[in-house]
Structure 1
Amino acid sequence: MNLFKALSYKEWMKTRKFILVAFVLLAAVAMYSYIEIKYAIRIQEAVNVWYGFIFQGMSVSSLMMYLIPLSGISMAIVQFVPEMTNKRFKLTLHLPAGETRLVSAMLLYGYGVLFILYLACVIFLSVIIGMVLPSEVVCMMVSQLLPWIIAGLAGYGFTVWICVEPCWRQRISNMLVSIGLLSILFVSIYPETYSDFTCGMILVLASSFVFPFYSCIRFKQGIQ
């Protein structure tokens, strides 16, 4: 536990500015979505706006489709690129603990921070959108956000996998695999499309956690 606390503090010092920026951006986009819907209701009347969301599958906050995955990818870059460029990752792996435990602690920190950010975003968005739209639309919005949140978390793990990989040729392969797996989560933006694909989303998320360990082993073995 002491090791996890120490690593978490180190990661916090490295990522705290990014976390603040990501939080502000997510809150700003949520407020923008609220203002946009309020304006649409004023211009088109509430019934027409509700019809578009309930029957036509319109997105309450389409910008989240881009911001959430990008925040996960950016979190991995901020957390691991300095480790690789400054050659601190090798020192981290030589701490008095198993490499699996060390890498797990670093990954769990990143996943945990992103999960808290996304959860806060969903709650905040649900509250403010619930002021102007019925609960059915709010539930549809949450179901629409879910695959994007999984993409943000998985995008974090896959980006770590790419960053830690010591061989550039293998990095390109990792990138192609990552893009292919993440693209599954953007087949459709229609709400509840992924309601029967829960196991698939779990597998994508789980693979994003497991794959970095393979590149970590290659890095420790000194593969170029």
Structure 2
Amino acid sequence: MSLSISYAKKSYFASMKERYTKGLPKKNKEEKIPNPFLKPEIAHHYEIAYGKNFGDSVRLDSALFYSNVKNSIAQVSIGDKKLQNKNHDDARYAGLELSLSYMTDSLDIGANYTYMSAKYKNKPDKIYDIPKHKGFLWTDVKILPSLSLYLSWELSSYRYSSLGLNGYVKTAGFGVGNAKFIYTPIKSLVLEAGVMNVFDKNYAYDDGYYEEGCVFFSNVTYKF
């Protein structure tokens, strides 16, 4: 059994892109205004984590976390068809993580789940690009001593995506499956071949920017 409590303070300084990028004004399009005076985000992170083994094969891990982000940076409207990155408000992030795995000599199975609540402290605006629920399932089946099949499934609930001056849109949740064979003829050589997005799912993390469909791939890794 393991139990840990942690705290971290981190600072994020706005990038050159966030400070100085200016979009060219176009008809019926918003104009992006630079803001070189962005303050850094200051984040305080708190976490309590617990883990326990059940026998030789089963492992459970869990964590509760909370983050307080001061001077959170967001793109907001500042006038007629004008957008600017500003220190919008303090933000609060809270959630939990759960992970369960089962491992033997010939079979590994695992699953993890994350719940996230993200809100501004004083404003009703949405925080973009963060799903409330995320999950990941995987299994690694050893077919032969040097050959295994790895399957995974990524799950995500809806998230909010910015539409600039037009507000925001709620993007659809999705589930994406992947599969690959892993062949290790010798200890230093690994050959992989598989498929990403097996069922050719049409999905996007950001509205209008869709991810790749079904993709076949192969990798060769040699360790000296």
- Scaled by the length of structure 2, what TM-score is found? 0.28
| Higher fraction of helix | 1
Higher relative contact order (CA 8 A, sep 6+): 1
